[in-house]
Structure 1
Amino acid sequence: MKSTVKFFQVVLLMCGVFGADEDEVKSVSVMEGDFVTLNPDLTQIQGFILILWRFGDPVIAQINGKETSYPSHTEIFRGRLQLDQTGFLTVKNMRIKHSGLYKIEVIQRAGTSNMKFTVTVYESPSAVNAGEAEMKLMSVKEGDPVILQTDIPQLYRDELIVWRFGDEGKLIAKHDIEAKSSPLYYETDERFRDRLQLNHQTGSLIITNTRTTDSGHYKVKISSNKQTLYQKYIVTVSGSGLSPGVVVGIVVVLVAAAAAGVISCCHKIAEIPETVSGMEGDDVKLNTGVTKIQTGDLIEWQSGNEDSLIAQIKGETSEITTYDDVLHGIFRDRLKLDKKTGSLTITNTRIEHTGPYKLLINNKYKRTFIVYIRVKSLSAKENDSVTLETKTEIQTGDEIRWLFGSEDTLVAEIKGEKREMTTHDDPDGRFRDRLELVEANGSLTIKNITADHAGLYKLLILSRGRTLCSKFFVYVKETDCS
């Protein structure tokens, strides 16, 4: 799924003569996790010999002629600084500890000039502006767990993760990996007490024993030295009266209206988008409603909130073009167009294919769709067996990995040209003598299953430089003793 990266940049424009008042201190404030750019007056830096940026007293960045360097006197800035030849200093992924006095010293033949900045880094406010981040739709029955997956395969050591809930953006979870501290879970009317977990590897949020009051908007902001990622989710938790399919159908209509722009501030009424859903790994078809493309017709398919062109067909030549590189390549080798009708099929779908789609015929909008891809879920009674099917043809040299739980613990794998199969007991031994792998397709069977084996399983297929991922929820029902 497309990840929208959005920064909030603070740029200071200085007026007057640089260095005219060396006692003057410019004040800057910035939100935790965002970045700030401190810039002096360009006209006063021309012809410099040496530029020194200090935090307190130590030099943290400097330009000597055309050579830029970052002395390691202050470890808290490792990987965060960017100094260009104009003297602009950018500090990325800021924390409270980066608050303080910054000084620039410009040495020229005519003398030395100085300027000071006081930077205040404050904790993120009660709302996270997720901008144009795409909305993910999640539906679950009351009592079941739900995992709000991020698009990050692996966190490193400098991320700040902030999760918020509701239209008012109340803080419910926060983790500063760089600080090497445990995640913090904030109570929101105590509704989430003891029911939240953060995945330390991906930043995903797990809500256990869900309740109908957990339904609503969730937002996450993950800041690192390289980028800031925003994601949005709508979670619907259905009680005994409605099935998740019915509830998500209602929510999808509302989200679709907003995502596709069919409801405007002027209360314009437009055709409600068609909802198409499927399980992860299934094929999903979006029909044009046209029986036959006319000569000269141009059929175009767009996806995402930014209407990225993903496929087109020209009626007069029947020339089909798919755009694999847009939206981070999530459609690569997955799109098929019907030459006769122009209908679009997305093969082997993944969660990231959830979102709005638009059909244009001759540059005019004709139909809109919301595609909702669900994670596979399986249920079994205690002491029974359950098989997680790959439904994928395994090629020679492919590596298969099965992971379990929020920590992505490796439980089974197939690797090497000899197709060597290995199962792992897990640190607590819960899978001992219970796992079987199918060499032909990599499917995994869990025998004599218990409640300890319930949870999220991930299948990774490493194939020719690409990684395919599928997810399965396994629910274990207690044996009826009556």
Structure 2
Amino acid sequence: MKKMFLKLVLLCLCLWRLDGVFGELVIVKDGDSVTLNSDLTEMKDDDVIQWKFKNTLIAEINKRADRITVYDDVLDGRFRDRLKLDNQTGSLTITNTTTEHVAVYYLQINSEIKRFRLGVQRELLDGERAVSVKEGDSVTLNYDLPEIKNVFVIQWMFKNTLIAQIIKLLDRIIVDDDVLDGRFRDRLKLDNQTGSLTITNTTTEHEGDYTRLINSMSTDFYLHVFVEMSVMEGDSVSLNSPLTEMKDDDVIQWRIGDENTVIAEINKRSDRITVYDDVLDGRFRDRLKLDNQTGSLTITNTTTEHAGDYKLLKFSERFSSKSFRVSVYGE
């Protein structure tokens, strides 16, 4: 279980490829290089290739003009000295990747367009703390000292959005719990003595990166929120998705463990339900049932081998995920 919190997968994307409206999904470890392949063996003399990050042009090859151009100073220089183009195939390599490079990439070859979705997997940074909480419980992100001394301002950020602060000089506590569609409304508590932040009644919407700024110093936290499930050995357990009904273009995956092994998926676009019950030495063989309407997963005739961390990934216009921790006990 502990390994799960030592390695965080941003956007929870993995080496699963999905063609069509979603494009090709690729994952890379933070700091490594990744190549987005054009699938060409050789460009023709009149070919023109353009690579875009979201809607911004970052690289192009014009064989007619015999020109290769890399626009690595756009977007505040996040691609500076990181882009390499293959003059023969048009493939794009991004070196020294960071989470700033997570997004949809578009490859246009003449009049044809190909999409890529890039996810970045990283390990916890030095000084970053991983915190886990069961959905519905409260969690406190702790300050290191028992009492604040020589501190003027403490600020708490969630994914770069200010959610709470203490201004010691004015003896004021300010909670901005209406930001981000109100997901923190009536859930935030600040300790004026220690600067700790408590989140009550947690949901999966509160999972993610938190930053605490004290004067000019920062400390990072990653909060993982999971649903706890318990089942007696031999019984069934249902992991319920938050969906009431899947849409025609939805794609969901169920994964288990630190290695994010795929055990089931539904692709509504191609009207396909797939259960991979032969993976992991067949421990799920003839035990998995998927609800085609909601995407919920049921595991029948459970054993202790089925205990562990499960994750539901939903791919559509907006990516989302939900985590479960299943315990299996004997009589």
Using the size of structure 2 for normalisation, the TM-score is: 0.46
Using the size of structure 1 for normalisation, the TM-score is: 0.33
Greater Rg over alpha carbons, structure: 1
